[in-house]
């Protein structure tokens, strides 16, 4: 919320001007249902892992299957927009196809590299840092490492190495989840969303444009860690 507030200070007052003849953007028929299926997919991934002890991938693929069934139902119906114009057919895979191959290869390669390091035993050196410097220090550093490497492989490395978080393991796992997620946004390519957006908005969202306002993310990162410290280490709430 603090980062969003700081970023809002750099947005001009008023509404952005529309180009001549440009129509306001409206949610297409079926759009709200697809948004609901997105939330359902995230929930199914979490619940399938926590309740049914299935891989989170199962819940994601189940959500994709439900989405495809809904898209198939939509394709068999003639849909009209607010102006009475027939809406074009929705193809869920066309959106995925627009993501550049180098973006997909980036995630595939870096996750494969983490898996290889785990197989060769090099992640054991990572767990030694927890014993040497303490879980809190290392977990805060994970956030800055996520900004450089990307938060997905860094969190994957933490999960695969399964380090000893100490007596307050629950609080430390909450901390590393927080720092990896927020810290990855310190640099544009430090998060999956940033990499995806850079691939879609060439010349608009770049490394340079992100770094101009990266200090707002850093402030949010510091405040979030401070809130964690007060909540878990001082008050003990949620520990």
Q: d(Cα 40, Cα 37) in Å, to the nearest integer?
A: 5
> What are the structural domain ranges in the chain?
27-97, 99-239
Give the pLDDT of residue 35: 92
CA distances from 155 to 68, 85, 88, 98, 180 (A): 30, 46, 40, 27, 7
What span, in angstroms and rounded, lies between the C-alpha atoms of 143 and 158? 12
DSSP per position, 43-91: HHHHHHHHTS---HHHHHHHHHHHHHHHHHHHHTS--B-TTSPBPPPP-
Tokens matching residue 47: 């619940």
Residues in the chain where the model's pLDDT stays below 50:
none
Helices and strands in the chain: count of H runs, count of E runs? 12, 0
For residue 89, the model assigns a pLDDT of: 67
Of 80, 239, 218, 108, the closest CA to residue 170 belongs to: 239
pTM exceeds 0.75, yes or no: no
Q: Is 17 left (phi over 0), alpha (psi -120 to 50) or beta?
A: beta
* Cα–Cα distance measured from residue 46 to residue 56, given in angstroms and rounded to the nearest whole number: 6
Q: What's residue 199's pLDDT? A: 74
């Amino acid at each position: 919320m603090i980062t969003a507030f700081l970023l809002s200070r750099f947005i001009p007052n008023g509404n952005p001007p529309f180009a001549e003849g440009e129509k306001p953007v409206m949610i297409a028929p079926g759009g709200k249902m697809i948004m609901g299926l997105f939330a359902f997919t995230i929930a199914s991934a979490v619940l399938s892992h926590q309740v049914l002890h299935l891989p989170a991938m199962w819940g994601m693929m189940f959500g994709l299957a439900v989405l495809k069934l809904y898209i198939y139902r939509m394709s068999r119906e003639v849909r009209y927009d607010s102006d009475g114009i027939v809406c074009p057919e929705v193809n869920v895979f066309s959106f995925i196809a627009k993501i550049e191959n180098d973006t997909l290869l980036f995630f595939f390669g870096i996750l494969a590299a983490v898996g290889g390091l785990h197989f060769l035993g090099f992640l054991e050196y990572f767990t030694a840092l927890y014993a040497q410097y303490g879980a809190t220090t290392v977990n805060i550093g994970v956030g800055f490492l996520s900004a450089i490497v990307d938060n997905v492989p860094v969190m994957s490395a933490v999960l695969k190495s399964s380090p000893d978080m100490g007596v307050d393991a629950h609080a430390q796992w909450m901390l590393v989840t927080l720092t990896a997620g927020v810290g990855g946004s310190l640099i544009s390519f430090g998060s999956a969303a940033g990499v995806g957006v850079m691939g879609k908005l060439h010349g608009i969202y770049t490394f340079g444009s992100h770094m101009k306002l990266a200090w707002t993310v850093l402030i949010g990162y510091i405040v979030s860690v401070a809130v964690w410290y007060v909540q878990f280490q001082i008050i003990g709430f949620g520990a």
